[in-house]
Amino acid sequence: MNHLEAYNKIKNRVEWDKSLDTRFEFITYKTPESGRFLQEEHPSVRIEIVYETLFDVDISNADFESKLEYIKQKAILQMLHDVFSDQKDILDYWIDGYVGLFDYAIILKNSNNVMFDVMNSTRINLTETVTDDNLKRWFIDLNGLKDSVNGVYTQSFSDRYRREINRIRKVLFIRNKSMKVVTAR
């Protein structure tokens, strides 16, 4: 199967959680197959903040709902590319047999993408709602912090995502999981 066919098999695993902001009651919220939501990894990954990052202030409700679906689709397709970049085809068994294996990677990739969009949004950065402290926190969350002088280390979302991709690849592609036992005579 190709990436789009794999996407169609896992696209309902994680979904956007219902917003508490009444401006977004028009959104049709779906129940995720895994019970996990795209917002669960970082407090700044919220529908309200995604809305504030959009350049088009007068976006229609249907277009905004499509934008949320596009953000999720982009995260899933990027994750699939990162996992299967060196594979000619994606075997059905890799998706069907390990469907839950991809949930956390999708959430991490989505969080990374949304925070990157927030940091680079001209609209949100021109409003008073974003403080320097928030920008610093998002920058550290995205890039991590490695201060060897003070002994401070904060793992970035990119590092966590790469580690999760490597974990998925180990589960899927290491075929011989048994160890050879060598005995001495």
What pLDDT is stored for residue 182 in this prediction?
Answer: 61
Which pTM does this prediction carry? 0.83
Burial of 47 (0-12, 13-18, 19+ CB in 10 A): buried
Band (176; pLDDT cuts 50, 70, 90): low
182 belongs to a structural domain: no
Residue 11 has pLDDT above 80, yes or no: yes
Tens of pLDDT, residue by residue over 130-147, are 566 677 777 777 777 777
Q: How many domains does the chain have?
A: 1
Residue range of the domain that includes 117: 3-173
pLDDT digits (tens, 9 = 90+) for 80-131: 999 999 998 899 999 999 999 999 999 999 999 988 887 777 665 555 555 6
Residue 43 has pLDDT above 90, yes or no: no
Residue 178 lies in a domain: no
Rounded distance between C-alpha atoms, residue 3 and residue 89, angstroms: 9
Would 91 be classed as within a structural domain?
A: yes
